[in-house]
């Protein structure tokens, strides 16, 4: 077995999870029909809104549990109006005077949306949350290409809205770029179309820094857009573009090392695979760091979109913490997928959702939607990690998003493979919003589902803290406490997504029956978990609680 798969063995405490997976596989064989897989044990779909007013190409979950949804401004009128008397006057390419909204705030508690005001075009922009919970949103097209926008979240009953800076702008135009929150609270922004450089917010005095890696990974399709960027526990950055990846020290502006090229197809926009850094585990002192990249499109699928070439079905997994890492390519998805989103679940597994089976990103460049999500069991043996889930009936292809919610569901929005809003098409502009409930939310698991009853609102690096849980039946294993960030979802990549599984002590039962106290140690420092708000999930035998929001800081 290669070093690239050494950590893929089933952990002893996770072995029962694989037994559950094999049981579900048996169930799966009984539920296959011409319509796909059905059944609660394979997850369930719920239509939340018939019309959210916009097709969200960017979505982010705030620490109030609301979701910020964003579309382009130069797309013409949306289907939700701004408040009376509020309109946008600009040099917009479609509507100079526009009284409709192109961003909304979705409240899961009331299942409603509230219009938000955007002045400049955030088309194919980037973003991430700042340590205080403010959403920083950068770049776009036309009048938005150098814009810095902020959204300070508020209680769902509040009136918070977008603010566009009139004093600070990006040092380089950013269209299809990637943001990453750094340990010191700054954001670093990589690339974009014709932008072979990086910059910081707040900005450096010496302007954008040339980043040769983005030039070296460019091709005729520009397959280095929306590069995958993951903050490593060392403090360096893993940067992946096209098929290549490096470890980069942003403090010294040096490439620490280059990793082997991933076999197969291009993996970034417009070829559109997806990537996650797999959970960082306190059980091994966070010493094993693995990157997973799945899907993509054949080279030429974007340049020759009429051919509708099959997407990739391969995944690459690499232990970047190894001295000589290699890509393990033994994981093969049940069906090809490009434009898929990869979501870290509170159980430390991964959900691959949305996308198409043929084509690439771009307007009308794909067909054959990938209706069925795939559950990727992180700790199962190679070749046994993929399980198809129940399918949706809504195509979610170009410009769709996916976000983990506080209750463990996955929020799904968007899909617009057209330049404007088009509803009389085989793959129309999608204004519907839905959620997918993974199998762990099945009511059959409720007897073992923990509830967090007492927890601190804030934890300090490397300092122990205690959480009180209630569980209907007695605990038989150690409970996991997992911190999950709230990323910025766009173009098949969740910018800033990470999961830190904390080192925990055995639960202590208190005076009341089925009430336990669990002590954990906060992340050791900001390179492991950058400062900010995280969802804290308690997980008992792969069954998660509803999360509570917790601020991680020094």
- The answer to whether residues 384 and 18 touch, using CB atoms and an 8 Å cutoff, is yes
For residue range 76-90, what is the model confidence (pLDDT) as tens digits?
999 999 999 999 999
| Band (39; pLDDT cuts 50, 70, 90) | very low
- The answer to whether residues 489 and 69 touch, using CB atoms and an 8 Å cutoff, is no
pLDDT recorded at residue 513? 81
pLDDT recorded at residue 10? 36
Q: What domains sit in the chain, N to C, each tagged with a CATH number?
A: 3-441 (2.130.10.80), 443-553 (2.60.40.10)
DSSP state for residue 279 in the 8-state scheme: P
User: How far apart are the C-alpha atoms of 29 and 493, rounded to whole Å?
Assistant: 31
pLDDT recorded at residue 476? 86
pLDDT recorded at residue 31? 36
Q: Which residues of 311-323 are buried (b: 16+ CB within 10 A; e: fewer)?
A: bbbbbbbbbbbbe
For residue range 271-292, what is the model confidence (pLDDT) as tens digits?
999 999 999 999 999 999 999 9
For residue range 509-518, what is the model confidence (pLDDT) as tens digits?
997 889 999 9
Is residue 23 over pLDDT 80?
A: no
Is residue 19 over pLDDT 80?
A: no
Q: In terms of DSSP H, where are the helices of 5-111? A: 15-31
- The answer to whether residues 375 and 386 touch, using CB atoms and an 8 Å cutoff, is yes
| Band (114; pLDDT cuts 50, 70, 90) | very high
pLDDT recorded at residue 35? 31
Burial class (CB in 10 A: 0-12, 13-18, 19+), 128: buried
For residue range 139-175, what is the model confidence (pLDDT) as tens digits?
999 999 999 999 999 999 999 999 999 999 999 999 9
For residue range 444-488, what is the model confidence (pLDDT) as tens digits?
999 999 999 999 999 999 999 999 999 999 998 899 999 999 999
Average pLDDT of the segment spanning 224-253: 98
Average pLDDT of the segment spanning 35-61: 84
Sheet-wide strand order for 197-201: 178-181, 187-190, 197-201, 209-210
| Band (294; pLDDT cuts 50, 70, 90) | very high
| Band (260; pLDDT cuts 50, 70, 90) | very high
| Band (26; pLDDT cuts 50, 70, 90) | very low
- The answer to whether residues 183 and 170 touch, using CB atoms and an 8 Å cutoff, is no
Average pLDDT of the segment spanning 402-430: 97
pLDDT recorded at residue 507? 93
Tell if the pTM clears 0.85, that is, is over it: yes
Average pLDDT of the segment spanning 182-193: 97
Average pLDDT over all residues of the chain: 92
| Band (29; pLDDT cuts 50, 70, 90) | very low
pLDDT recorded at residue 2? 34
Is residue 24 over pLDDT 60?
A: no
Strands 126-129 and 112-116: unpaired
pLDDT recorded at residue 485? 98
| Band (93; pLDDT cuts 50, 70, 90) | confident
């Amino acid at each position: 077995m290669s070093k690239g798969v050494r950590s893929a063995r089933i952990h002893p405490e996770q072995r029962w999870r694989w037994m559950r997976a094999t049981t579900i596989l048996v169930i799966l064989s009984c539920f296959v029909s011409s319509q796909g897989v059905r059944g609660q044990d394979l997850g369930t779909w719920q239509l939340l809104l018939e019309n959210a007013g916009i097709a969200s190409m960017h979505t982010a979950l705030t620490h109030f549990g609301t979701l910020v949804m964003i579309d382009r401004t130069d797309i013409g009128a949306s289907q939700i109006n701004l408040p009376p008397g509020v309109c946008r006057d600009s040099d917009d390419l479609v509507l100079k005077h526009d009284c409709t909204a192109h961003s909304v705030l979705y409240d899961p508690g009331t299942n409603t949306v509230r219009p938000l005001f955007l002045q400049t075009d955030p088309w194919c922009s980037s973003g991430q949350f700042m340590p205080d919970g403010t959403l920083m949103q950068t770049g776009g097209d036309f009048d938005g290409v150098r814009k810095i926008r902020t959204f300070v979240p508020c209680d769902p009953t509040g009136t918070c809205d977008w603010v566009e800076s009139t004093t600070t702008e990006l040092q380089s135009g950013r269209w299809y770029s990637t943001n990453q929150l750094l340990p010191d609270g700054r954001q670093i922004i990589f690339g974009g179309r014709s932008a072979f450089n990086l910059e910081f917010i707040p900005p450096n005095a010496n302007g954008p820094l040339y980043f040769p890696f983005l030039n070296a990974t460019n091709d005729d399709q520009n397959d280095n857009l929306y590069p995958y960027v993951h903050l490593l526990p060392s403090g360096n950055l893993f940067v992946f573009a096209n098929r290549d990846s490096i470890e980069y020290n942003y403090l010294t502006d040096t490439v620490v090392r280059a990793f082997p090229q991933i076999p197969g197809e291009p993996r970034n926009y417009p070829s559109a695979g997806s990537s996650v850094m797999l959970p960082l585990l306190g059980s091994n002192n966070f010493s094993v760091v693995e990157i997973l990249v799945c899907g993509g499109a054949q080279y030429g699928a974007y340049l020759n979109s009429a051919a509708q070439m099959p997407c990739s079905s391969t995944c690459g997994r690499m232990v970047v913490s190894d001295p000589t890492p290699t890509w393990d390519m033994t994981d093969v998805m049940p069906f090809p997928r490009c434009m898929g989103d990869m979501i870290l679940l509170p159980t430390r597994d991964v959900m691959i959702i949305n996308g198409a089976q043929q084509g690439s990103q771009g307007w009308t460049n794909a067909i054959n939607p990938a209706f069925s999500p795939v559950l990727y069991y992180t700790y199962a043996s190679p070749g046994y990690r993929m399980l198809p889930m129940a399918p949706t009936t809504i195509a979610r292809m170009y410009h769709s998003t996916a976000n983990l919610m506080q209750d463990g569901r996955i929020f799904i929005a968007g899909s617009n493979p057209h330049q404007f809003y088009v509803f009389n098409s085989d793959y129309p502009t999608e204004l519907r919003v839905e959620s997918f409930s993974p199998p762990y939310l099945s009511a059959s698991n409720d007897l073992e589902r923990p509830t967090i009853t007492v927890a601190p609102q804030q934890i300090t690096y490397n300092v122990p803290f205690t959480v009180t849980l209630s569980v209907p039946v007695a605990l038989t294993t150690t409970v996991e406490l997992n911190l999950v960030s709230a990323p910025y979802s766009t173009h098949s990549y969740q910018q800033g997504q990470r999961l830190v599984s904390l080192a925990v002590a055995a639960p202590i039962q208190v005076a009341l029956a089925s009430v336990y106290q669990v002590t954990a140690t906060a992340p050791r420092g900001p390179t492991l978990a950058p400062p900010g708000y995280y969802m804290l999930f308690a997980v008992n035998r792969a069954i998660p609680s509803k999360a509570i929001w917790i601020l991680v800081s020094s």
